[in-house]
Amino acid sequence: MADAGVDVVREYDDRSWAEDGLTRAVEDVVESGHVLAFPHLAFALADAERRFLDPRWADGKAKNVSLRWPAGELRGASGEPGDLAALQRMIARYADRSETLALRLFPHYRGQLRRGNTSFRPVDVAGRVRSWRQDDTRLHVDAFPSNPMQGTRLLRVFCNVNPSGAARRWRVGEPFEAHARRYLDAIQRPLPGSAWLMAAAGITKRRRTEYDHLMLQLHDRAKADAEFQRSSPQARVDFAPGTTWVCFSDQVLHAAMGGQHMLEQTFQLDAPHLAQPASAPLAILERLTGRALLSA
C-alpha cells in the first residue's frame, strides 16, 4: 500500500505551545501540502480532566463534542452542568493553545486566521458506521455538501490525547495537483442556476461556486473509487499519543484509519492571505481549467 513517492510529513522538535517555542515562519511548508508533525507536543490534561477521555460524554447524536465560536458554546455533549462546564474549559484551552501555535508557525496569517469549530472526538474511528460519502477512512480532501467554502482554506491542528498508547492512524496520498488532474476531465460543470437554487432552498449555507462543485466532486469521486483507494500513491502515518499535527485538510489527501481521543481545531483563512496564493487548491484548479471558479 505504501509508496515511497509519498513523503508529506515533516517533523519538528517543539516541546512548547507558547510563543517562545522552537519553530516559526514555516508557511511555505504547510502551503506546499505537507503535514507538520510535532511528536513531542502533547496537550496536557489536568488529573480531573482525564475522566473526559470516555465516549460517554458524547451525546450519541453528534459524532463529536465541539465548541462553536465566537461564544465557545458546547455542542454534542451530555452530562451534568458542572461537568459540561469543565469539559468546555478543557476544549477551549486547546483552542487557545492551537491559535498561539498557529500564529507562531504562520505569522503571515496574523489578523486573518478565523477560529472555526474546536472538536473533541472521544469515539473510536473504527466504531463509526457511515455512508461511503461520510466514510473518512477513505482518502479524500475535505469538502462539504452543505457548507461551500468559496475558496476559503481549512487549516487544522490535531492532537492525539489517547491515554492508553493508541496511535491516530492516517493514510496520506498524492499531491493535490496530481489528484485534481486524475478526475478533472470527467467532471461536468454545474447546471446553470443550480447554485442559486441550492442556496435558496437551504441545501447549501451559501452559494456553491464552481470551485466548491469541483472540490466536492474530487471528494466524492475519490471516496467512491475503490481502485484509487487501493492502489494510488499513499503512505501510512501513525501519530502517537502526545503528537500534534497541522495541515491544510482541503489540500492534503488524508484518511483516518483508526484511533480514539483526539482534539482538533479548525481555522479558516481566505486564500489571498496565504504567503503563496498560487499554492492553493483554488489557484491550481483555476490554472488547470483555465477559468475563474468563484464567479457565477
Which stretches of the chain bind Fe ion, using CB under 5 A?
142
Report CA-CA distances (Å) from 279 to 77, 104, 209, 286.
Answer: 38, 20, 19, 11
Q: Which is nearer to Fe ion, 119 or 279 (CB)?
A: 119
Give min distance, CB of 136 to Fe ion, in A: 5
Distance CA 97, CA 91 (A): 10
Q: Tell the smallest beta-carbon distance from residue 87 to Fe ion (Å).
A: 24
CB-nearer residue toward Fe ion: 247 or 274:
247
Q: Return the number of the residue (90 or 222) whose C-beta is nearest Fe ion.
A: 222
CB of 142 to Fe ion, least distance (A): 4
Rounded CA-CA distance 288/179 in Å is 12
Closest separation between CB of residue 175 and Fe ion, Å?
17
- φ/ψ (deg, to 5) at 70: -85, -15
**Nearest residue (CB) to Fe ion, 142 versus 270:** 142
Angle, vertex CA 121, rays to CA 118 and CA 123, nearest 5: 165
Shortest distance (Å) from residue 211 CB to Fe ion: 18
Nearer to Fe ion, 152 or 289 (CB): 152
Q: Provide the 8-state DSSP code for 167.
A: P
Cβ 255 to Fe ion, closest distance in Å? Answer: 8
> 13-27 b/e with 16+ CB inside 10 Å = b?
ebeebeeebebeebb
Residue nearest to Fe ion as judged by C-beta position: 142
Nearer to Fe ion, 45 or 159 (CB): 159
**CA 194/CA 196 separation, integer angstroms:** 5
Pair 1, 84: CB distance under 8 Å: no
Q: By C-beta, is 17 or 211 nearer to Fe ion?
A: 211
Q: From the CB of 143, what's the least distance to Fe ion, in Å? A: 9
Cell of 262: 483526539
* Closest listed residue to residue 41, CA positions, set 118, 102, 120: 102
Cα Rg, the chain, nearest whole Å: 19
